[in-house]
């Protein structure tokens, strides 16, 4: 298979050195993302387009390649093509007829030609000749440039001809690794996941920082969604997941701070901690999912008071977004189901929260706060490479595993719905239910407590994690299914 990768249009207006640097980075990223599918994949090109060649022919792998490229920052779209040496007009016609001839009978069509290089003919000359001959020779109903049923698409580059089979859109933006790094404050909900996506889509490499207020269930959920976002949109770069234990900080706020100022002060403590971590990682910008006045701590006066605790640039890509637009984007990028089932955490609930906190009053309230508590939280922060975060969590968890399901037991397939649909689990005489891993914690309590349930996933890591959590919640009827 051969693909022509079209870069994000804004890259093409950069100066020559910047443009070449961006395109080299994109080529490097493509190789990194596809290496496990085809170690011999070839990616060439340094100016406007990249050409990708793979000898892999298995449809499932080719589909996975297409899906990964469709989620890669820096790519506007890519074309699946067949390449031929450029011949005369009759040879171009023959190649187009070979690929499109059988589909044109009785159809209205058009011919689209793009051309680069020096030739004694124009793109329009090619379109006129090939279009008229295809209509005569293939029994087409007619030609329409405005509303064709079929588009015959070709590209001519110097002495090469490309016949285009299909076009796949990607997410645009700049290639990851070509711009600066950021630290995303990640709660796992709709806002922070969409903010992370928007920043990654723009080409900024993003590490994830989570402030744990709700124990293991919340940490597990945020690790899962952060890993999902990285794997889908940013796996060309290795980044960190930082987990900061913030329960003691929250307790200090609850005990020392006036109720109406708790929300603002909690956010200030988070920014202080995130700034300290960013300093350690040599990162100059923080990212949050805040939108103007979505909640009381996100009014303009409160955001100003929150921001003054850090000298870091605080980016808020959703600042003027409506909530429904954020939810719609989360559905498009695949994080909505995670957000809907994210375990609730023990947030600060103010009876009458301030919507226009004064800096002097906030600083007065913070005088009672023991900053040693914040320092302890930072000392106990865990920094884990995102590609190892799930395996890291799964270590040392002792859960009973069974290699064979018995009559009466129910297997719960907790894989992502796409995986469960592509490769459904079926065992003779055994009931199999599907329940995505991001919904297990919330929905397991709805199941019959008198039945035995076996959690199943591909590698056994996610099933052990969720079984461990369910057991710690008092559900004794859980095991892990690991077929031999």
CA distance 386 to 430: 36
Is 334 one of the annotated binding-site residues?
Answer: no
State the Cα angle at 365 between 363 and 369, rounded to 5°: 100
Sign of torsion, CA 166 172 176 179? positive
Q: How far is CA 117 from the centre of its chain?
A: 37
Say which of 71, 96, 113, 457 is annotated catalytic: 457
CA distance 256 to 423: 54
Residue 46's nearest CA partner among 10, 5, 80 is 5
Is 267 one of the annotated binding-site residues?
Answer: yes
Q: Is 71 a catalytic residue?
A: no
Residue 208's nearest CA partner among 250, 173, 249, 243 is 243
Residues 6+ apart with CB under 8 A from 201: 73, 171, 172, 173, 233
SS3 348: coil
- H-run or E-run covering 166: strand 160-169
Is 474 one of the annotated binding-site residues?
Answer: no
Tell me the two tokens of residue 104: 């044109």
First to last CA, the chain: 36
The answer to whether the beta carbons of residues 210 and 226 sit under 8 Å apart is yes
Residue 434's nearest CA partner among 450, 454, 412, 419 is 412
Residue 243's nearest CA partner among 268, 273, 266 is 273
Is 318 one of the annotated binding-site residues?
Answer: no
- Tallying the residues shown for the chain, one arrives at 484
Residue 150's nearest CA partner among 160, 170, 137, 164 is 164
Is 185 one of the annotated binding-site residues?
Answer: yes
- Which residues are known binding-site members? 185-186, 267, 289, 298
- Which residues are known binding-site members for ATP? 185-186, 267, 289, 298
Active site residue ranges: 457
């Amino acid at each position: 298979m051969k693909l022509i990768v079209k870069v994000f249009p804004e890259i093409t207006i950069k100066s020559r050195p910047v443009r070449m640097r961006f395109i080299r980075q994109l080529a490097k990223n493509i190789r990194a993302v596809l290496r496990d599918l085809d170690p011999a994949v070839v990616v060439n090109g340094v100016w406007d387009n990249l050409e990708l060649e793979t000898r892999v022919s298995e449809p499932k792998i080719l589909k996975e390649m297409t899906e990964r490229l469709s989620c890669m920052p820096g790519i506007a779209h890519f074309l699946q093509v067949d390449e031929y040496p450029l011949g005369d007009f009759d040879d171009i016609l023959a190649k187009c007829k070979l690929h499109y001839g059988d589909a044109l009978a009785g159809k209205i069509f058009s011919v689209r030609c793009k051309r680069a290089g020096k030739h004694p003919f124009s793109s329009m000359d090619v379109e006129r000749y090939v279009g008229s001959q295809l209509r005569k020779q293939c029994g087409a109903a007619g030609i329409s440039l405005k509303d064709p049923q079929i588009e015959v698409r070709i590209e001519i580059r110097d002495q090469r001809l490309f016949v285009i089979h299909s076009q796949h859109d990607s997410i645009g933006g700049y290639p990851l690794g070509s711009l600066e790094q950021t630290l995303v404050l990640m709660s796992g909900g709709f806002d922070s996941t969409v903010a992370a996506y928007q920043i990654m889509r723009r080409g900024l490499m993003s590490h994830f920082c989570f402030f744990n207020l709700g124990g293991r269930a919340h940490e597990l959920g945020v690790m899962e969604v952060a890993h999902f976002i990285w794997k889908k949109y940013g796996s060309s770069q290795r980044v960190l997941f930082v987990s900061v234990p913030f329960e003691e900080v929250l307790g200090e706020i609850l005990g020392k701070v006036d109720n109406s100022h708790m929300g603002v002060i909690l956010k200030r403590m988070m920014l202080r901690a995130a700034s300290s971590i960013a300093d350690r990682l040599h990162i100059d910008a923080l990212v949050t999912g805040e939108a103007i006045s979505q909640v009381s701590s996100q009014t303009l006066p409160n955001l100003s008071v929150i921001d003054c605790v850090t000298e870091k640039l605080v980016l808020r890509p959703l600042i003027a977004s409506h909530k429904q637009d954020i939810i719609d984007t989360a559905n498009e990028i695949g994080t909505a189901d995670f957000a809907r089932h994210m375990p609730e955490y023990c947030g600060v609930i103010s009876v009458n929260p301030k919507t226009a906190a004064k800096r002097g009053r906030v600083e007065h309230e913070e005088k009672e706060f023991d900053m040693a508590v914040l320092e302890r939280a930072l000392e106990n922060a865990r920094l884990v490479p995102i590609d190892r975060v799930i395996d890291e969590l799964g270590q040392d968890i002792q859960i009973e595993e069974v290699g064979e399901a018995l009559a009466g037991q129910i297997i719960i397939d907790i894989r992502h719905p796409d995986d469960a649909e592509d490769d459904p689990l079926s065992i003779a005489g055994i009931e199999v239910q599907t329940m995505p891993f991001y919904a297990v914690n919330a929905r397991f309590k709805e199941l019959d407590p008198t039945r035995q349930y076996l959690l199943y996933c591909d590698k056994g890591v996610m099933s052990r994690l969720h079984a461990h959590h369910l057991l710690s919640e008092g559900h004794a009827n859980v095991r892990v299914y690991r077929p031999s």
